[in-house]
Amino acid sequence: MRYSDSEIALAARQRIAQVFGMLADSVHPEHIFGEDLKNSGRSDFKYNEYDQMLHDIRDVADRQSLKEIDSGALEIRTVAEYCDHMVRCYRTNEKAVLSALGLPRRN
């Protein structure tokens, strides 16, 4: 049994909340990375919140999505865009999305 799109989107929003140290209810689709969601300003030698989000985005991406990201055709600036990316990639790379979002595999 697969997760629904809404379950993946909710888990993605919860992942953002966890990374940024917020309550899930305070993370909204229109929030913009770098404006509404700011990093903690950690040193260059440790991952900050943006690094974690970028790793999630790239780790789950299929070949086509990676090409679009690398060319600038696909930019993920908002919570909604991150959630949409996770939902889209779940269809082609289920295992990676479940791993990134910390979801158990369903039988």
pLDDT tens-digit readout, 60-101: 999 999 999 999 999 999 999 999 999 999 999 999 999 999
Domain regions of the chain by residue span: 5-101
pLDDT band (50, 70, 90) for residue 42: low
- pTM over 0.85, yes/no: yes
CA distance 12 to 73: 22
Smallest CA-to-CA distance from 6 within 96, 80, 62, 100 is with 80
Give me the DSSP letters along 53-89. Answer: HHHHHHHH--HHHHHHHHHTSS---BHHHHHHHHHHH
pLDDT score, position 35: 92
User: Among 96, 94, 35, which Cα is nearest to 60's?
Assistant: 96
| Contact criterion met (CB below 8 Å) for 32 and 77 | yes
- pLDDT value for 61: 96
What's the whole-number average pLDDT of the chain?
A: 93
Looking at residue 44, what is its pLDDT? 64
Helix crossing, 49-60 with 5-20: angle to 10°? 150
Angle, vertex CA 50, rays to CA 2 and CA 3, nearest 5 = 5
pLDDT of 38: 87
What's the mean pLDDT in 20-38?
94
